[in-house]
Amino acid sequence: MCPCFHPVECVIPEHMLESIATHGTSAQRQAALNNIRVVYQLRAEQAMRASFKGLFDSAIPRAINNEKERVIYDAMRRDTLPGTVARREGDAPSSDPAVNEAYDGGGTTYDLFMKEFGRNSIDNRAMRLDASVHYRTGYDNAFWDGTQMVYGDGDEDLPTDERLFNRFTIAVDIIGHELTHGVTQFEAKLVYSQQSGALNEHMSDVFGSLVKQYQLQQSASEADWIIGGGLLTGNVNGVGVRSMKTPGAAYDDPVLGKDPQPAHMRAYVNTVSDNGGVHINSGIPNHAFYLTALEIGGYAWKKAGQIWYTALRDKLSESSNFQQCADLTHQTAGELFGVGSLEQQAVQHGWAAVGLTVSESGGKPKPSGCLEATLRFIGAA
């Protein structure tokens, strides 16, 4: 393993490439190469995490009473985080709607994870839910920075008739989406690039949408499955930024362009933009989840959500790809509801409809001989 902590600078030693090149099929060689890239990045991150673990863990702010605790800050349109405290747990509502949306949305997300999945906050150890609103000016984004949620106000700095976005706290599924990035950071740790990155995005969309459905008490067939509903202004021809029900159909607008999400493996988008299309190809697993939940019926968080949450917590790992996600959610459904159960069949049908056939063993595919040898060579297996 190379000694530095800069994944982008890592290079695969030539002798290792040669050794791969003399083994296996070309598909195996390609798989090995792809995996080496991910493994290199992981090992650098793991080494860094391990060396700071004690520090990080004690630095995480946690609720004093081991329950829900939210702190909403106002960044006052500056880029310094977190900003000034605007509302603490138990405080009366603020006069600022963004503060209240961040507070309420964080609360609903906490409740869904706690009451339905038995998870106590982001780290399952009562991590305090910190969020900052009014981040920068003209900031048309929301993100999870590793420790807190951050929300911009859209393009509020432009004249009304040119604005495309409203404030990013306006949709509760955006809040659920960002919080779930935190959950993923503590569980599967899906690397934010290519297929594992699209799965990271997928999980955030799944639980984001479930937070909205939970808040509205909607069944799978009643829900709109739109991500970011209400985020786009009336100047845009669109209902949101993504659709799990109909990926690719959320918006089609002269200024924004067309929703680029595929709904099937045959339309998978290869791109260097967006960390390898993490917000684009997530349309494929998103649609598989939607179909699964619809086939099972009822409230989507009760069964489909339970299957996906368990897979995220116990089965998926840093470099998981779409096929592995299909296999592992199928395996999880078998464990939770029985092999051959209607729930497990629904998972199989969901993935099949987007072009992924779950493997019968339902387990994690064993690395091929060449890949295994290569991983052993660099000390990853």
Partner 1 sequence: MEFTQIKFERSGGFANIRITAELNLRDLSDEQAIALKELLDELDFPKLPTKLTSGETVPDEFIYTITVETEKWQHTIIADGVPKDAKIQELLELLNRLARKKMRNL
| Active centre residues (catalytic) | 178, 279
CB of 169 to partner 1, least distance (A): 12
CB of 259 to Zn ion, least distance (A): 16
173 binds partner 1 (CB under 8 A): no
CB of 107 to partner 1, least distance (A): 20
Q: What is the SS3 string spanning 146-194?
A: CCCEEECCCCCCCCHHHCCECCCCCCHHHHHHHHHHHHHHHCCCCCCCH
Q: What is the SS3 string spanning the chain?
A: CCCCCCHHHCCCCHHHHHHHHCCCCHHHHHHHHHHHHHHHHHHHHHHHHHHHHHHHHHHCCECCCCCCCEEEEECCCCCCCCCEEEEECCCCCCCCHHHHHHHHHHHHHHHHHHHHHCCCCCCCCCECEEEEECCCCCCCCEEECCCCEEECCCCCCCCHHHCCECCCCCCHHHHHHHHHHHHHHHCCCCCCCHHHHHHHHHHHHHHHHHHHHHHHCCCCCCCCCEECCCCECCCCCECCCEECCCCCCCEEECCCEECCCCCCHHHCCCCCHHHHHCCCCCHHHHHHHHHHHHHHCCCCCCCHHHHHHHHHHHCCCCCCCHHHHHHHHHHHHHHHHCCCCHHHHHHHHHHHHCCCCCCCCCCCCCCCHHHHHHHHHCCCC
Q: Which of residues 78-137 bind partner 1 (CB under 8 A)?
A: none
Q: Considering CB distances under 5 to 8 angstroms, the limit depending on partner class, which of Zn ion, partner 1, none binds residue 38?
A: none
Q: Which of 57, 162, 222, 252 binds partner 1 (CB under 8 A)?
A: 162
Number of residues that bind Zn ion (CB under 5 A): 4
204 binds Zn ion (CB under 5 A): yes
Nearer to partner 1, 26 or 160 (CB): 160
193 binds partner 1 (CB under 8 A): yes
Token pair 């432009």 is found at: 158
Would you say 149 and 106 are in contact if contact means Cβ atoms under 8 Å apart? Answer: yes
Q: Which of 42, 75, 206, 278 binds partner 1 (CB under 8 A)?
A: 278
Nearer to partner 1, 65 or 160 (CB): 160
Q: Considering CB distances under 5 to 8 angstroms, the limit depending on partner class, which of partner 1, Zn ion, none binds residue 4?
A: Zn ion
Q: Taking CB under 8 A as the rule, which mask of x and - marks residues 256-275 in contact with partner 1?
A: xx--x------------xxx
Q: Considering CB distances under 5 to 8 angstroms, the limit depending on partner class, which of partner 1, Zn ion, none binds residue 336?
A: none
Burial of 99 (0-12, 13-18, 19+ CB in 10 A): buried
378 binds Zn ion (CB under 5 A): no
CB of 217 to partner 1, least distance (A): 25
Nearer to Zn ion, 1 or 158 (CB): 1
CB of 271 to partner 1, least distance (A): 8
d(CA 344, CA 332): 8
d(CA 72, CA 95): 13
Structure tokens at 75: 């960044």
* Stretch in the footprint of partner 1 (CB under 8 A) among 100-108, 255-263, 322-330, 331-339: 255-263
196 binds partner 1 (CB under 8 A): no
Nearer to Zn ion, 43 or 68 (CB): 43
Q: Considering CB distances under 5 to 8 angstroms, the limit depending on partner class, which of Zn ion, partner 1, none binds residue 105?
A: none
Q: Which of 110, 144, 337, 351 binds partner 1 (CB under 8 A)?
A: 144
Would you say 369 and 24 are in contact if contact means Cβ atoms under 8 Å apart? Answer: yes
Structure tokens at 248: 């690719």
Nearer to partner 1, 6 or 266 (CB): 6
CB of 176 to Zn ion, least distance (A): 11
Q: Taking CB under 8 A as the rule, which mask of x and - marks residues 20-49 in contact with partner 1?
A: -------------------------x----
Q: Which of 2, 33, 60, 265 binds Zn ion (CB under 5 A)?
A: 2
279 binds partner 1 (CB under 8 A): yes
| Contact positions vs Zn ion (CB under 5 A) | 2, 4, 10, 204
| Contact positions vs partner 1 (CB under 8 A) | 5-8, 45, 138, 140-146, 155, 158, 162, 164-165, 168, 174, 177-178, 181, 184, 191-193, 197, 200-201, 204, 228, 231, 241, 254-257, 260, 273-275, 278-280
